Amino acid sequence: MSATWSPLRIEFPLTLEGSVVRLEPVRLDHAAQLWQVARDHLDDIFRWFPYRMRTREDFDGLVAKASAEQERGESVVFATVEKSSGRVIGSTRFMNIDRANRRVEIGSTWIAPPWQRTAVNTEAKYLMLRHAFDVWGCIRVELKTDALNEKSRNAILRIGAKQEGTLRRHVITHTGRVRDTVYFSILDSEWADAKSRLRRYLDEPHSRSQ
């Protein structure tokens, strides 16, 4: 007998909070804070992004677009906040939401360099994956990255995702380079193991993640 599946019910607005990071709904006034923390590190942060992020206007446009997507129910976009300081240090989102097929993608993630290789990214991924699987009841969470971005590929594998394959000549970037994109996923049947792995990382003293 086949299972009966109901579409995902995605709530807005959504805040996810851990011990070191808070993911809060992105607002138009976050653009200035995101620009402030990123502007001296643009080449490092956005080297592999397919779209242009070079000016304050780019940040204003990105946040405005993200806010519009949220209003249409297409994405759940977060400002990443360091809890101890209250400072906005990056952004991430649930995107490509497929309610009928109970899957979402975690992507458009960036963290300013001073907070990279800390517990911030590990905890943010843990909070998002836990919400996707344990609250929404997703059966699949996708992640993807530029095939040339070895750092990102290793970080995705580290959290327990499985590499599925490469879409060749997938995206034309703002520089004109044609990008190959590597896809990863975590399935509901794999979430328990990935959850344990992430909890172990977070419980380690001075937990560090890419």
- Residue 186: CB atoms within 10 A of its CB come to 25
**Residue numbers in the chain where pLDDT is lower than 50:** 208-210
Q: What is the pLDDT of residues 163-199, one digit of tens each?
A: 999 999 999 999 999 999 999 999 999 999 999 999 9
C-alpha to C-alpha distance for 115 and 85, rounded to whole angstroms: 12
Report the candidate in 93, 107, 126 with the shortest Cα–Cα distance to residue 17: 126
**Is 90 in contact with 21 (CB distance < 8 Å)?**
no
Residues 173, 50 contacting (CB under 8 angstroms): yes
Q: What is the dihedral of CA 191, 161, 184, 140, to 10 degrees?
A: 0
Res 209: pLDDT: 45
Q: What is the CATH number of domain 16-203?
A: 3.40.630.30
Dump strand ranges (E) for 2-86: 16-17, 21-25, 76-82
DSSP for 118-146 reads SHHHHHHHHHHHHIIIIIS--SEEEEEEE
Q: Could you tell me the CA-to-CA distances from 40 to 46, 91, 173, 194 in Å, in that order?
A: 11, 16, 22, 34
The H or E element spanning position 60 is: helix 56-71
User: What pLDDT does residue 205 have?
Assistant: 58
Please tell me the pTM assigned to this model: 0.95
